[in-house]
Structure 1
């Protein structure tokens, strides 16, 4: 049985930041990451981030990952296991994991779950043909392994991920024939949409995939326009000769461990699916289990990092560590999150958070 003060499940943006703040407070931290590399989405992101200087604005995701790695290696109280899959969180607080083919039991005093989210898919005939990928898989092929996924791509989804990955595909020399989205308007930031439009890529809103074609792999895709009831309009079909169909239609929080641990979960469409009920300290309804990042609700990586810092800080504080300027630092993180979720873009996120955030007595007063 391995004893640890704080166990961080997931070594993506949120998990790394949580580990850093918890370790800086003095806690002994163990990070379990199921992949061979730390960093999660950061190591796939070659674009520059928005936000403020505190959130590494104008720094590329891959470079932010390096900054976080350096901080972790400078601290001597963070242990990291890669190729580590957490299997269960039991009622007695024991965590079981499979690490490089070996079974291990861990007894943490606090747990921070930062497992992220998984890609949603889209149903249409022949959607299992080789050449049909999620956007995250395309990013992994290109930006992690240096493999071009194909020559001609049709991007499904005009949110930030779809727009950004489209631009990255063009940077890699891939022909992006078009971007489509079932929604009547582009969901991503217009700055991203403007970049791909300047490159001559058309964006079709109010369209979805009707069918994919091919014998051994994708060879063609047909899209069709939708009416205001989201029904296909006959006669509006468009055909594209493509060998890659990239699906970017949203993410679902990976909360299976939270369900198993007995945390109260609620379905909140604005946050991507079932998410945990939690306090402003990001502690769930099960004492000692904290959350951060997309498992709380799908947002940008900047928000995930700030939530990670907040969860690491508050988890360490709950263990009794004396943290200099704790309240000021906590308030700063809360204000950063409020700023990132401000304006029209954040309306959906704020509405979703209102449904799952436990208000403190001080806030109610």
Structure 2
């Protein structure tokens, strides 16, 4: 089957791109492996400002209805197993057939990267994203009382969502330091991520206190005198001086063993204590889900500020492979609104290549909208995301053939 444009991923970037292309009278096929369109939008629910809520399910429905009205074809519960380029066409192999296109957009999003902890194979241990989907999408509580291991932007936001759903979060705490949790178990490193969600806290003390933590000296001072039992945000103790050393239980999760940690993350001997819980969430952060870009032969670069290995691409969302484009969290870990804006850029770039009336000025305005959306993002997953974007931009420029006179 041949379509003018194939989009892999029905999250915010993919749906936004599909709508933009369909509005240009370009036929579109969107492929996604999940039951519903929306991607990570489906689990999101948070208050952007007093009385103003961002509801991912509502946003997903709005995008889906708009796409259907424009005759966008969606293939859900469809997994992609391989990509290959034959002459001028991209061949997309799926469990529902093979599709061909000259213009392919990868909007595959992100995946979670949990870290191992003794006892993590017990029933009741899950990623924090799984708890979010269970609660906000399927309306099933993951348990009555849980502990979240890993203090970061994602875990903080989801903890608030769990509380709204009537699920008690006993604590958000650090993992014990090992080779895989070196940064996420270090109180100083973790404080940086926590400061970026302090504006979401209802506590004026937390909001005001965060303003004093702008330099390393104040951060070290703050960690040194940080209360051992944590500071509460949304009535949840955020424990930067405690770490989970073990998840315990016989046939399922019954609790965790936590210990006090020094400012460098090392365990204070003899400080172990057990906390009751019937579920545990591990929050190791997100990384770009870019395996399909790798299969396609796209070069990658590791950029920590963007969440890991990123397929090489430019501001127009083009890769260096003809006809292959990327948008959303595959390009770096950011919020849904940035993904929506990137999807539009990718679509306009594709539309221009297909000979529509789309102008370079229109594409440039969309690129500027991405930058504005990024600057105004309610949740920033990495404090140095702009540095990461600039680094990628430099790498792209250096990869271009040099023109000599």
Q: Provide, for residues 124-144 of structure 1, a one-character-per-residue CA deviation record: whole Å limited to 9, x for no partner.
A: 111111111111111111112
1:266 pairs with 2:260: no
Partner of 1:138: 131
- Identify unmatched segments of 5+ residues in structure 1: 51-56
Equivalent residue for 1:249, pick from 238, 261, 284 = 284
Equivalent residue for 1:289, pick from 313, 324, 327 = 324
Partner of 1:61: 56
1:210 pairs with 2:245: yes
CA distance in 2, matches of 1:137, 1:351: 30
CA distance in 2, matches of 1:33, 1:108: 16
Partner of 1:54: none
The verdict on how the C-alpha distance between 1:130 and 1:87 changes in structure 2, with shifts beyond 3 A counting, is same
Equivalent residue for 2:70, pick from 72, 75, 81 = 75
SS of the aligned residue for 2:79 comes to: strand
1:94 pairs with 2:91: yes
CA distance in 2, matches of 1:270, 1:236: 34
> Quick check: 2:255–2:274 contact (8 Å CA) kept in 1?
yes
Partner of 2:372: 339
Partner of 2:199: 191
TM-score, normalized by length of structure 1? 0.88
- How many aligned positions are there? 347
Partner of 2:79: 85
SS of the aligned residue for 1:4 comes to: coil
Deviation at 1:269, TM superposition (A): 1.5
CA distance in 2, matches of 1:279, 1:150: 44
Deviation at 1:285, TM superposition (A): 1.5
The verdict on how the C-alpha distance between 1:136 and 1:288 changes in structure 2, with shifts beyond 3 A counting, is same
Q: Provide, for residues 174-232 of structure 1, a one-character-per-residue CA deviation record: whole Å limited to 9, x for no partner.
A: 21111124343125411334469364321112543211111110111022344454433
1:107 pairs with 2:103: no
Deviation at 1:330, TM superposition (A): 2.3
The verdict on how the C-alpha distance between 1:149 and 1:59 changes in structure 2, with shifts beyond 3 A counting, is closer
CA distance in 2, matches of 1:9, 1:206: 42
- Greater shift, 192-201 or 133-142, is seen at 192-201
- Greater shift, 277-286 or 332-341, is seen at 332-341
1:237 pairs with 2:272: yes
Partner of 2:116: 123
Partner of 2:236: 201
The verdict on how the C-alpha distance between 1:239 and 1:24 changes in structure 2, with shifts beyond 3 A counting, is same
CA distance in 1, matches of 2:48, 2:19: 20
Deviation at 1:157, TM superposition (A): 2.8
Partner of 2:362: 329
> Quick check: 2:131–2:281 contact (8 Å CA) kept in 1?
yes
> Quick check: 2:311–2:331 contact (8 Å CA) kept in 1?
yes
RMSD: 2.3
Partner of 1:353: 389
Deviation at 1:249, TM superposition (A): 2.1
Deviation at 1:91, TM superposition (A): 2.9
TM-score, normalized by length of structure 2? 0.80
The verdict on how the C-alpha distance between 1:202 and 1:255 changes in structure 2, with shifts beyond 3 A counting, is same
> Quick check: 2:341–2:373 contact (8 Å CA) kept in 1?
no
- Greater shift, 84-93 or 39-48, is seen at 39-48
- Identify unmatched segments of 5+ residues in structure 2: 175-184, 204-230, 401-405
CA distance in 1, matches of 2:198, 2:233: 12
CA distance in 2, matches of 1:66, 1:203: 34
CA distance in 1, matches of 2:74, 2:238: 43
> Quick check: 2:44–2:54 contact (8 Å CA) kept in 1?
no
Deviation at 1:239, TM superposition (A): 2.3
Greater CA radius of gyration, 1 or 2? 2
CA distance in 2, matches of 1:337, 1:235: 50
Partner of 1:53: none
The verdict on how the C-alpha distance between 1:240 and 1:329 changes in structure 2, with shifts beyond 3 A counting, is farther
The verdict on how the C-alpha distance between 1:351 and 1:156 changes in structure 2, with shifts beyond 3 A counting, is same
> Quick check: 1:157–1:248 contact (8 Å CA) kept in 2?
yes
Partner of 1:46: 45
- Greater shift, 326-335 or 211-220, is seen at 326-335
CA distance in 2, matches of 1:49, 1:24: 29
